[in-house]
Structure 1
Amino acid sequence: MAASSLSMNDFLTRFQLLQPSAPSISGNKRQAAVLVPVVRRPQPGLLLTQRSAMLRKHAGQVAFPGGAVDDSDESLIAAALREAWEEVAIPPDSVEVIGTLPPVDSATGFRVTPVVGIIPPNLPWRACEDEVAAVFEMPLVEALTLGRYHPLDIHRRGNAHRVWLSWYQHYFVWGMTAGIIRELALQTGVEA
C-alpha cells in the first residue's frame, strides 16, 4: 500500500492483531497498559501525548496515554481506558477497542500492553496538566510508514537492546512509543 493515503476501512481491514480476549494481569513484572488511540477520520490520525517536563520518569517524552494497573482495574484494557480518561479526558465508553499488540517490557520494570482503540474525531482533549504537556495527532499513514523509524542499538546492564527513533514535526518519538507504532505498522502490513 502506498504511503499517500490510508482510510479507516483500509486500516481496519489490514489490522491483523489479536482480538482482545481480555489480556490477563499476571506475571512477575509489574503490569501497565497504554491506549493506542486511532482517530476515526476519512484519513485517520494517531493521538499522542508529550509528557510533562515535571514528571520524575520519562519527562518530556512522547507517549501514549497509559500507566500502571491499579488494584481496581478489572483488566489491562480497563487500565488503559482509565489512564486515557485521567490523562487526556477520553471517555472510556467512546473507545472501540479492536485489539492488542504483544506486551513490551520497559526499562523501568513494567510489562506494558498496548491496547488499540478507535476514538471519535470530535472529542475535546483536556490534558491533565500534572502529567501531559501536549496532545497532538499524527496522520496514521505517516505513523505507519516503516521507513521513518531508525534503529539505535544500545547496551544496558550487559545486554544489547534496540530502540527506534523518529521525528514528527518538532516531536521526537523514540523508545517504547516508537517501537509500539512500528509494531502496529508491521501488524497492519502498511509499507512505505
Structure 2
Amino acid sequence: MSGSSLSMNDFLSRFQLLQPPVPRVSGNKRQAAVLIPIVRRPQPGLLLTQRSALMRKHAGQVAFPGGAVDDTDESLIAAALREAWEEVAISPDSVEVIGTLPPVDSVTGFQVTPVVGIIPPNLPYQASEDEVAAVFEMPLMEALTLGRYHPLDIHRRGNAHRVWLSWYQHYFVWGMTAGIIRELALQIGVEP
C-alpha cells in the first residue's frame, strides 16, 4: 500500500485483521455509543458533525453521531445507529457495521463505545437543527495520519489527562473525537 492512499479494501482488511486490544475496566457506569461513519469511496471518507452551539454539553465541538444508550436500545450498536438516524438521518439499514473499538471514558461520566460502520457515498444527510450545526467529510487517509494529532496534557481534579488536538479545514477536532480517530489510526496502522 502506498503511503498516500488507503482504499476501502485496505481499510476493511486492516480493521478486521488487527483486532483492538482488550477493553480496559472503566469507572464510568453510564453507557453511550457513537458511530464512526466511513464513506464507501475509492478513497474513503470519514463523516463528522459539528454540534450545535445551542447544545448544553460540548456545544460547537466536532463529534461523531452518538449519545446515551436508551432503555429502548437493544445494544450499544443499536444506540449508535439510532443516534446517527436522529442526528443526521443516516438510516440504520444503510450502515454496514464492521466492528467496535475499545470503549473510552468521557469527562461527562459515560463509557462510550465507538461503532465502526461503512455507509454509501450518496446519502442525503439531514442535520437535526437542535443538535447538529454542520455535517462534513474528511478524507480517511488524512484523518488516520497520526502526525496531525498533537497532545495537550491537562490537569483535572488532581489527575493528569492527555487530550489530542487537530485541525481540518476550519474545524477544530479535539478531545474524545480526536482520541477515537487516533485510536482507529493506531489499530489500522497506516503509517510505518
TM-score tier, shorter chain, comes to over 0.9
What secondary structure, in the 3-state scheme, does the structure 2 residue paired with 1:172 have? strand
2:181 is aligned to 181
Matched residue of 1:186: which SS? Answer: helix
Q: Distance in 2 between matches of 1:58 and 1:10?
A: 33
Q: Which amino acid aligns with 1:40?
A: R
* Other-structure match for 2:59: 59
Mapped contact 1:17–1:100 kept (Cα < 8 A): no
Shift of 1:13: 1.2
What fraction of aligned residue pairs are identical, expressed as a percent?
89
Alignment of 1:84-163 (within 5 A): 84-163=84-163
Q: Secondary structure at the match of 1:5?
A: coil
Query: 1:162, 1:70 → 2: CA distance?
Result: 29
Q: Answer whether contact 1:3 1:142 (CA < 8 A) is retained.
A: no
| Structure 2 residue aligned with 1:13 | 13
Residue aligning to 1:35:
35
* 1:72 aligned residue: 72
1:64 offset after TM fit, Å?
0.1
Q: What amino acid does structure 2 have at the position aligned with 1:165?
A: L
Gaps of 5+ in 1: none
User: In 1, distance between residues paired with 2:158 and 2:122?
Assistant: 47
Q: How many residues align?
A: 186
Tell me the distance in 2 between the aligned counterparts of 1:87 and 1:139: 21
Instruction: Using structure 1 for the length normalisation, give the TM-score.
Output: 0.93
The answer to whether the 8 A contact 2:28-2:110 is kept is no
TM-score by length of 2: 0.93
Q: Which runs of 5+ in 2 are unaligned?
A: none
Letter aligned with residue 4 of structure 2: S
Q: How far does the alpha carbon of each residue in 1:16-47 deviate from its partner, in whole angstroms, 9 at most, with x for none?
A: 245xxxx9xx9851100000000000000000
Poorly superposed stretches of 4+, deviation over 4 Å: none
- CA spacing shift, 1:31–1:13, aligned 2, 3 Å: same
Residue type at the aligned position of 2:126: R
Q: Distance in 2 between matches of 1:2 and 1:137?
A: 22
